[in-house]
Amino acid sequence: MMRQYELVERVRRYNPATDEALLNRAYVYAMRAHGTQKRASGDPFFAHPLEVAAILTDLRLDDATIVAAVLHDTVEDTAATLDEIRSIFSPEIGALVDGLTKLKRLDLVSKRAAQGENFRKLLLAVAADVRVLLVKLADRLHNMRTLHHMPAEKRVRIAEETLDIYAPLSGRMGMQELRDELEDLAFRNLKPDIYATITQRLSDLSARSERLVDSIERDLSAKLEARGIRAEVTGRQKRPFSIWSKMERKSIAFEQLSDIFGFRIVVERLEDCYAALGVVHTSWPMVPGRYKDYVSTPKQNDYRSIHTTVIGPKSQRVELQIRTAAMDEIAEYGIAAHAHYKEAGGKDEVGIHPRLATESGAYQWLRRTIELLAEGDSPEEFLEHTKLELFQDQVFCFTPKGRLIALPRGATPIDFAYAVHTDVGNSAVGAKINGRMAPLLYELANGDEVEIARSDGQSPPAAWESLVVTGKARSAIRRATRSAVRRQYAGLGRQILDRAFERAGRSFTEDKLRGALPRLARISTEDVFAAVGRGEMFSGDVVKAVYPDFKEERRTGAPSLQQPPVEGAGRLTLAKDQTMRLTFPDSAAANVTHSEAIPIRGLDSDLAVTFAPNGGAVPGDRIVGILTPGVGVTIYPIQSVALAAFDNEPERWLDVRWDVEAGGGERFPAKIALQSINEPGVLAQIAQVIADHDGNIDNVSMKRRTQDFTDIMIDLSVWDLKHLTAIIAELRGKRAVSKVDRING
């Protein structure tokens, strides 16, 4: 633990006029306040605020900030009060400690359970005095350095929060050195195996490339010196998190990275930046598209530097940053560096942009946000003004109520909906982005305000799984899809069992079925319903499990639908409503009335329904259902030749009926085969006929049968049998079409 005199010495190195008595008073006060408190590591709690203060001395901050760092946990964790701190130290220090205490309550701002305290409040806590933020970032850095002492679950949560909030916020404040360390510490805790692998490979690469790095440094220094440019050239290796992020972003392997090493050229004067750039570009070829001038156009966080990439010695791609010493300090320490220059009397050193000598642009941004709040702007207007690129590695969006949602780049409103809540994602049907309707596949940008439109009856399509980018959304969609399919099978199974028990003349309740679960080897009634719906369990077996004395009279075969009715076979009858019905005289479908048949609405029905793969079925067709394991019910027209394959499986035959209204807006599949004359424009004529009749072509296949004729197979979507018949009749009237038939495979 740092001793009292060591703290004073650290401050005195950069500030000889420091108030030594103030620092000593803060040290003793905090040590007594924390007393025997311990951290998770077992170290005295007082060691933590001292380490936070030490980090801030590296940033050369003023006495008040250092004292606030030493005292920052006293009000929150001890019996100390703000009034006491104001009286013993000063109102300024009291205000800083107060700001840090409030900010501590906003800790875990990225955690869902605490996000009621939204982003606006976070900015409010730090915008009043930027030193509050500096102490908070130093506090987070030391906590991350000692995170390994925490339980695993808490480590993950804190590391995620650091990547979500504090590391990007450090970058927005221009404190790149601090941001890099926060990212690497979080990375090490979130993905320890990947971190260890990348670190080892970087170590091996560094050992192999040491001579090459030294050679490039010498070559650059010599070329610059020959042109009269005094410069310090240093090579540095990229950080593990930066490398992993690039590998993830570009989907490339470690070996494919060409810019693991970067070089920095620090010159004395502003004009030397461009002179050094000329030396570099005349010595080695530049990589197109890799030149950026942040000197003439600084970043919003005041970062200034020239970036370029060249093909250097031994065909090695070399990434270069060219800047002055003042720019270098601002690039590493951000607003903390500005505080140093401001204390020095606001001198405008050569190479410093004029506005940077008076106040940091990042701090000005914070000031503007607090001014907007002071003017009484609405939260919506406030959010609009904060839509700057605060978080550059992620997309941060907002709900209409101001809740902050952090998402990866490339995220869509679907990802956003699931980030809000799984139920919101499952019921999402549309989105408004910044008040305007947008597709659910819209790529979200920083600062977007997203409003999700919901429908209680909606469930997510399975195709969404391949469209989202977050793991939470993918797993939730996968679960919802499985659940929806299971509900379809269970609904179908329930209807099948209702009719099976009715045909058997036995009563059916879930309580009775529950008593038979051991005999059916199922855990719940829902499992039974789903198994029957999938065709994995036959309804007759369930009836016998519930009523062991039930004797089912099975017939030996299904009806031959291509032959005249015979005794014991299925029979087509004309019901009172003048519709053709198929009935069977056995337990599979005996004496079925119109109301007993399972209603079929189409592919979007609540049942697990598919249509005959080779020809489909349309309303108006006389139909029969075949129960197929793992598929559900497949609907065939009664004239389909494919039904002969199920003659010996009577337990799979189901009585079904259409349950669609005229003009219901749903199309059904059908297939037609045409024989046409082989001449130009025939296919266009056929397509025009179908289009004129409001038919939809799903697929077309063609085969040249002879020199003069072509066979054409067309998959159609039509409203009903009348619609299909009209299309076929029109096609038969075309001179170029010699034959048209409907396929009933």
CATH, residue 419: 3.10.20.30
Judge if 154 and 123 occupy the same domain. Answer: yes
- Contacts of 446 by beta carbon, 8 Å cutoff, 6+ apart: 387, 388, 389, 390, 391, 395, 396, 397
Does the reported pTM lie above 0.75? no
Judge if 409 and 489 occupy the same domain. Answer: no
Sign of the CA dihedral with 499 first, then 504, 510, and 513 last: negative
User: Where do runs of H (alpha helix) occur along 505-624?
Assistant: 510-515, 517-520, 525-534, 539-546
Token pair recorded at residue 79: 């019996």
Angle, vertex CA 518, rays to CA 655 and CA 607, nearest 5: 30
CATH value at residue 736: 3.30.70.260
User: Of 623, 654, 634, 633, whose CA–CA distance to 558 is shortest?
Assistant: 654
- Got the DSSP string for 462-517? GGGGGT---HHHHHHHHHHHHHHHHHHHHHHHHHHHHHHHHHHT----HHHHHHTH
The answer to whether the beta carbons of residues 572 and 639 sit under 8 Å apart is: no
Measured CA distances, 436 to 109, 377, 384, 417, 455 (Å): 28, 21, 14, 16, 19
How far apart (Å, rounded) are the C-alpha atoms in residues 447 and 427? 24
Judge if 9 and 155 occupy the same domain. Answer: yes
User: Of 539, 286, 255, 242, whose CA–CA distance to 393 is shortest?
Assistant: 242
pLDDT at residue 382, as a whole number = 43
Half-sphere exposure of 590 (CA within 13 A, CB side): 16
pLDDT at residue 366, as a whole number = 57
The answer to whether the beta carbons of residues 685 and 736 sit under 8 Å apart is: yes
Contacts of the segment 526-531: beta carbons below 8 A, 24+ positions apart: 526/486, 526/490, 528/493, 528/497, 529/489, 529/490, 529/491, 529/493, 529/494, 529/497, 530/486, 530/489, 530/490, 530/493, 531/493
In a domain, 200, yes or no: no
Measured CA distances, 725 to 66, 78, 206, 621, 671 (Å): 87, 86, 76, 11, 12
Q: For 234, phi and psi rounded to 5 degrees?
A: -135, 140
The answer to whether the beta carbons of residues 120 and 390 sit under 8 Å apart is: no
pLDDT at residue 364, as a whole number = 61
Other C-beta atoms closer than 10 Å to the C-beta of 222 total 10
Q: Which residues of the chain have pLDDT under 70?
A: 102-128, 258-259, 300, 335-394, 471, 552-608, 630-631, 661-664, 745
In a domain, 536, yes or no: yes
Measured CA distances, 360 to 59, 212, 354 (Å): 15, 38, 11
- Contacts of 661 by beta carbon, 8 Å cutoff, 6+ apart: none
pLDDT at residue 127, as a whole number = 58
The answer to whether the beta carbons of residues 127 and 369 sit under 8 Å apart is: yes
Judge if 588 and 518 occupy the same domain. Answer: no
Judge if 506 and 433 occupy the same domain. Answer: no
pLDDT at residue 375, as a whole number = 42
Judge if 52 and 150 occupy the same domain. Answer: yes
Judge if 178 and 210 occupy the same domain. Answer: no
Give the domain-ending residue among 140, 167, 193.
Answer: 193
pLDDT at residue 419, as a whole number = 87
Cross-strand partners of 310: 286, 318
Other C-beta atoms closer than 10 Å to the C-beta of 648 total 9
The number of residues in the chain equals: 745
Token pair recorded at residue 565: 């009715």
CATH value at residue 184: 1.10.3210.10
Give the domain-ending residue among 193, 217, 239.
Answer: 193
The answer to whether the beta carbons of residues 399 and 449 sit under 8 Å apart is: yes
- As for how many domains the chain has, the answer is 6
Judge if 350 and 236 occupy the same domain. Answer: yes
In a domain, 465, yes or no: no
Number of helices (H) and strands (E) in the chain: give both, helices first: 28, 22
- Contacts of 200 by beta carbon, 8 Å cutoff, 6+ apart: none
The answer to whether the beta carbons of residues 407 and 356 sit under 8 Å apart is: no
Sign of the CA dihedral with 93 first, then 97, 98, and 103 last: positive
How far apart (Å, rounded) are the C-alpha atoms in residues 743 and 745? 6
Helix axis angle, 192-226 relative to 270-283, nearest 10°? 100
How far apart (Å, rounded) are the C-alpha atoms in residues 443 and 413? 8
Give the domain-ending residue among 158, 193, 228.
Answer: 193
Contacts of the segment 221-226: beta carbons below 8 A, 24+ positions apart: 223/279, 223/280, 223/283, 224/265, 224/276, 224/279
In a domain, 73, yes or no: yes
Judge if 104 and 168 occupy the same domain. Answer: yes
How far apart (Å, rounded) are the C-alpha atoms in residues 251 and 310? 23
DSSP 114: G
- Contacts of 736 by beta carbon, 8 Å cutoff, 6+ apart: 676, 677, 679, 682, 685
Other C-beta atoms closer than 10 Å to the C-beta of 499 total 20
In a domain, 463, yes or no: no
pLDDT at residue 341, as a whole number = 38
Token pair recorded at residue 237: 């290796």
Token pair recorded at residue 494: 């329930």
In a domain, 375, yes or no: no
Longest dimension (CA), the chain: 114
Tens digit of each residue's pLDDT (9 = 90 or more) over 610-620: 888 888 888 88
Judge if 113 and 228 occupy the same domain. Answer: no
Measured CA distances, 71 to 32, 50, 139 (Å): 11, 9, 12
Amino acid at 311: I
The answer to whether the beta carbons of residues 223 and 204 sit under 8 Å apart is: no
Beta strand 632-637 with 609-611 is parallel
Judge if 339 and 412 occupy the same domain. Answer: no
Residues with a catalytic annotation lie at 76-77
State the Cα torsion 719-723-727-733 to the nearest 10°: 180
pLDDT at residue 672, as a whole number = 92
CATH value at residue 245: 3.30.460.10
- E-strand stretches of 364-439: 394-398, 404-408, 428-433, 436-438
Judge if 150 and 256 occupy the same domain. Answer: no
Please give the helix or strand (H or E) that residue 374 lies within, else none.
helix 361-374
| Structural domain containing residue 617 | 571-658
In a domain, 35, yes or no: yes
pLDDT at residue 248, as a whole number = 82
pLDDT at residue 376, as a whole number = 40
In a domain, 587, yes or no: yes
Put the strands of the sheet holding 436-438 in their side by side order: 436-438, 428-433, 450-454
Cross-strand partners of 709: 677
Token pair recorded at residue 743: 């396929």
Tens digit of each residue's pLDDT (9 = 90 or more) over 651-708: 778 778 787 766 667 788 899 999 888 888 888 889 999 988 888 998 899 888 777 7
